[in-house]
Amino acid sequence: MKNIFILLISLCIAASAKAITRITCIGASITHGATLPDPASQSFPGQLQKLLGKNYQVSNFGVSGTTLLRKGNSPYWDTPAYQQALKSNPDIVFIDLGGNDSKLINRAHYDEFESDYHALISSFRQLPSHPRIVLLLAMPSFEKDTTGIYDPVIVNQINPRIRQVAYDEKLEVLDMHSPLINHEDWTPDKIHPNVQGSAIAAKKLYDVVVQPRDTGFDIFKAIKEPYKTDSFYGYPCATFTVDGRERKVVKPKWAAKDHPWIWRARFWGHEPQTDIALLERGFHVVYSDVAELLGNDEAITRWNNFYKILHNGGLGQKAVLEGMSRGGIYIYNWAAVNPTKVACVYADNALLDLQFWSDSTLLKKDFNLTSVHQLGALKASPLDKVAQIVSGGYPMLHLSADDDEALDPSKNTLLFEQKVKALKGSITVIHKPGFKHHPHSMPNPAPIVDFILKATGYEIIASQ
């Protein structure tokens, strides 16, 4: 009896030990927590530990000044911390290297950056624990010294290479640059984030650790036409043609539960911050070219057909619609016909009244008019369809540049807002004082992304 009791105790201890998820963070000074009063608790790995709680063990193997490049001025490869990280038996590995590689002294070796990164990944992939490996883009630097950790080099040289490695290795990649780009005040020495900046980084890692994942779903199987695959900022993008019109589907490295998706109406790849952030959270991004059909019946039919393919292929019933500029016409005209298929809307300096479209010849062609004066009676604009749009019950977010020279906000977004509110619809307008029609979006898309995650039920609130 005593032996059975001891065996049960041993099994319980083993089960308890197995329940701990081990997370290894490797990187340089930002990972270590340089300049923070208490790096152990205030660094992003330290704050991640607090967020995750007792069922996780987060280990910080950051070493200040180190590079990913093996020929860099201070290679991470040569540190005892690297060997300790390999011996940590991790379930998850976060790699945050690249910032120091942007220094002038290291730029001569960029042709080896990707091969060195592949080798580093391989060293962890070969571990018996077969960890989940997540690459982190380098955070922004506000330093003006072009020979040091210089942000233009991070943006144009380092981070694109990290994205390419993530694409080649089929690994997750997290954009740590955009969430801090508008917070220079959180980097007192222009390089290292303070407690608030580290908290933003920790929360981003926390979200991808705890969010349920569907790693077996593959939307590409629903594509019947021949397609080519390339990288969309590190994510697989399938491009194919139907009736002479291009279609694109980008899949995340893993799908969120119920397979959510965002449908970009126009200007593929322009200001993609929101799309990228949602891909990180398991959303798909899709596009169906209906350029210059201006939301007419043909455009709606083409979108209806594409919707059937995607939804029958496993994507969720409701799509997030994204419309920049005249993309607003496309998303809302489709939504007016399909109100039960919309999860929420993100519109950006949107054209909402076709009478302000300058190409009268195209208008007449698209809507079979003999005169543009017939347009008003046709009621072909979202401003004419507010009742149908509001009937869907979904929330809408609009970005509006107050000095938009291309589309007068008072005759588009602000008038639309008034009409939606008059019918008790849900609409939020974020004003951009001093901005013109361009640029769209925001360098840090957090307000847009947070709106979409909340509207679709994928917002994660940390318990601690």
Closest CA to 179 of 443, 458, 456: 443
Q: How many CB atoms lie within 10 A of CB 441?
A: 19
pTM value > 0.85: yes
Torsion region of 130: left, alpha or beta (phi above 0 gives left; psi -120 to 50 gives alpha): left
CA-based R_g, the chain, Å: 25
Three-state secondary structure call for residue 462: coil
Q: Angle, nearest 10°, between helix axes 113-125 and 159-169?
A: 40
Q: CB–CB of 29/62 below 8 Å?
A: yes
Instruction: Give residue 5's pLDDT.
Output: 44
Closest CA to 60 of 69, 73, 75, 79: 79
The model's pLDDT over 55-103, given as tens digits with 9 standing for 90+, comes to 999 999 999 999 999 999 999 999 999 999 999 999 999 999 999 999 9
The model's pLDDT over 273-329, given as tens digits with 9 standing for 90+, comes to 999 999 999 999 999 999 999 999 999 999 999 999 999 999 999 999 999 999 999
Q: CB–CB of 462/199 below 8 Å?
A: no
Low-confidence ranges of the chain (pLDDT < 70): 1-18, 464
As to burial, measured by CB atoms within 10 angstroms (0-12 exposed, 13-18 middle, 19+ buried), residue 122 is: exposed
Amino acid at site 396 = M
Q: 446 - beta bridge partners? A: none
Q: How many CB atoms lie within 10 A of CB 302?
A: 19
What is the widest separation between alpha-carbon atoms in the chain? 95
| H or E stretch covering 57 | strand 56-62
Closest CA to 284 of 323, 314, 329, 325: 314
Q: CB–CB of 436/404 below 8 Å?
A: yes
Instruction: Give residue 356's pLDDT.
Output: 87
**If you count DSSP H runs as helices and E runs as strands, how many of each does the chain have, helices first?**
17, 16
Residue linked to tokens 């994205």: 163
Instruction: Give residue 360's pLDDT.
Output: 87
Q: 232 - beta bridge partners? A: 235
Q: How many CB atoms lie within 10 A of CB 459?
A: 14
Instruction: Give residue 18's pLDDT.
Output: 53
Joined tokens for residue 137: 């883009």
Q: Which residues contact 212 (CB under 8 A, 6 or more apart)?
A: 256, 257
The model's pLDDT over 135-166, given as tens digits with 9 standing for 90+, comes to 999 999 999 999 999 999 999 999 999 999 99
